[in-house]
Chain A
Amino acid sequence: MHELGITQNIVAIVAEHAKGAKVQRVLLEIGKLSAIMPDAIRFCFDICTQGTLLEGATLEILEIPGLGRCRQCGAEIYLDKPFGICNCGSVQLDLITGEELKIKEIEIEELCV
């Protein structure tokens, strides 16, 4: 359940960047090969944000598909796990996308004066 610690990190990073403003929305980018479960993050998010600038914020998660490139023949292959076999028979794959774990953007409330 590493997602709890990761969600605490997310809350800390976002709160730091919000500089005191209330956070309305957080957009995360999570690769499908990153071993992070979006549902677990979502579950932890409500708990971790209580009493912070992020309380009540909407959480959006973009899941980035896994893409690998074969070292033997250069073919690109979509992956749903962090390994696979190319049509040419090679298992030597470099992962191009799918390992992302990022806070892409946050939306903060602008105070109207």
Chain B
Amino acid sequence: MCVTCGCSDDGEIKITNLETDETEHNHIHTLSDGTVITHSHSHDTHIEAPQIHAKIHNTTISLEQDILAKNNLLAAQNRGWFKGRNILALNLMSSPGAGKTTLLTRTINDLKHQLSISVIEGDQETANDAKKIKETGSKVIQINTGTGCHLDASMIERGLQKLNPPLNSVVMIENVGNLVCPALFDLGENAKVVILSVTEGEDKPIKYPHMFRASNIMIITKIDLLPYVDFDVQKCIEYAREVNPKIHIFQVSATTDAGLENWYAWLTAKVTNLSTLISSQLTNT
């Protein structure tokens, strides 16, 4: 308990000074059932004021409305759109500079005779990545989010209209470089792929657990640099499995080829499975 005001001191935000070991906390109240309440009232009026309001002349409407419902609905529509065209859609996410674009251009170039891959590029500014993808001959659309830190389902819906990917193909969605926000927004993809380079830290999965929990696949990139950097691959894998026991892991280098065959095998198998699934559904109906 906070000795100054009597509040519970288990606030989520803690600011710790490592020099002095001092931790500051927010004044947040915990109810007996463990529910935590914070609000914009001052301390002395906080519980009574809203209830008094209601007694005077206001009406309380119970909503129970999911704030992300609209995004989730659009994502479901996108999913149907992909399914109807037999398209495999992957949502690629990472911190900036993990090597998404390099892995993507390499994948497109190596598989262009087997798979048709088109791309939706997400960045706050510039069309630099889209230009790199365009050089591979792939169809590509750049979405600039401005201040936005992630792509959402409505951006993908609009992007798809412009991209017009062919039937029976792959759409790669390269999300804005950010390990936090993109994890929250369903785009209607078949799988979320998180990309982590060995120049980052092996503890990223436990530092950004929402991202690694939401992802189906983790690709560790730049493994050719392992002799030069302090990155414990086994530890990284352990951390990732701690957060998400089901996560499927690849280790690759887009510059030396190492590990790429496994990633390509997974990708082509996934496309084949999708086609088999769709054709069996057609046969059954």
**How far is A4 from B149 in the complex, measured between Cα atoms in Å?**
10
B43 at the binding interface (Cβ < 8 Å)? no
76-94 of chain B: CB within 8 A of chain A:
none
Taking the closest CB of chain B, its distance from the CB of A65, in whole angstroms, is 5
Looking at B34-42, B98-106, B228-236, the stretch in contact with chain A turns out to be B34-42
Residues 76-95 of A, flagged 1 when their CB comes within 8 A of B and 0 if not, give: 00101111010000011000
Given the complex, which residues of B lie within 8 Å of A107, measured CB to CB? Answer: 50, 53-54, 58-61
39-97 of chain A: CB within 8 A of chain B:
39, 42, 58-65, 78, 80-83, 85, 91-92
**Does A24 contact B58, Cβ atoms closer than 8 Å?**
yes
Interface of A, secondary structure class, is: mixed
**Does A91 contact B245, Cβ atoms closer than 8 Å?**
yes
Q: Which residue of A is nearest B244, CB measured?
A: A83
Interface of B, secondary structure class, is: mixed
Q: Which residue of A is nearest B210, CB measured?
A: A35
Residue B209 contacts which of A1, A5, A82 (CB distance < 8 angstroms)?
A82
**Does B148 contact A108, Cβ atoms closer than 8 Å?**
no
**Does B59 contact A112, Cβ atoms closer than 8 Å?**
no
**How far is A42 from B64 in the complex, measured between Cα atoms in Å?**
19
Residues 60-73 of B, flagged 1 when their CB comes within 8 A of A and 0 if not, give: 11111111101000
A15 at the binding interface (Cβ < 8 Å)? no
**How far is A103 from B184 in the complex, measured between Cα atoms in Å?**
17
Q: Which residue of A is nearest B70, CB measured?
A: A9
Given the complex, which residues of B lie within 8 Å of A32, measured CB to CB? Answer: 12, 36
**Does A58 contact B49, Cβ atoms closer than 8 Å?**
yes
B258 at the binding interface (Cβ < 8 Å)? no
Tally of chain A residues near chain B (CB < 8 A): 48
B158 at the binding interface (Cβ < 8 Å)? no
B181 at the binding interface (Cβ < 8 Å)? yes
7-60 of chain B: CB within 8 A of chain A:
12-13, 26, 28, 34-41, 49-50, 53-54, 57-60
Residue B53 contacts which of A25, A35, A102, A112 (CB distance < 8 angstroms)?
A25
**Does A102 contact B36, Cβ atoms closer than 8 Å?**
no
Residues 262-273 of B, flagged 1 when their CB comes within 8 A of A and 0 if not, give: 000000000000
Residue B35 contacts which of A2, A62, A103 (CB distance < 8 angstroms)?
A62
Taking the closest CB of chain A, its distance from the CB of B51, in whole angstroms, is 10
Q: List 10 tightest A-B contacts by C-beta distance, closest first.
A: A63-B36, A2-B181, A60-B39, A83-B243, A35-B210, A65-B34, A103-B65, A107-B60, A103-B63, A105-B62
Which A residues are within 8 Å of any B CB, using their own CB?
Answer: 1-2, 4-6, 9-10, 13-14, 17, 24-25, 28, 32, 34-39, 42, 58-65, 78, 80-83, 85, 91-92, 101-110, 112
16 contacts between A and B (CB under 8 A): A2-B150, A5-B152, A25-B58, A35-B183, A38-B12, A58-B53, A59-B40, A101-B66, A102-B64, A103-B65, A104-B63, A104-B64, A107-B61, A108-B58, A108-B61, A110-B57
Q: A25-B50, A37-B13, A107-B50 are in contact. List 15 more A-B contacts (CB 8 A).
A: A2-B185, A6-B68, A9-B70, A13-B65, A24-B58, A25-B53, A34-B184, A35-B210, A58-B50, A61-B38, A63-B35, A82-B209, A104-B64, A107-B60, A110-B57
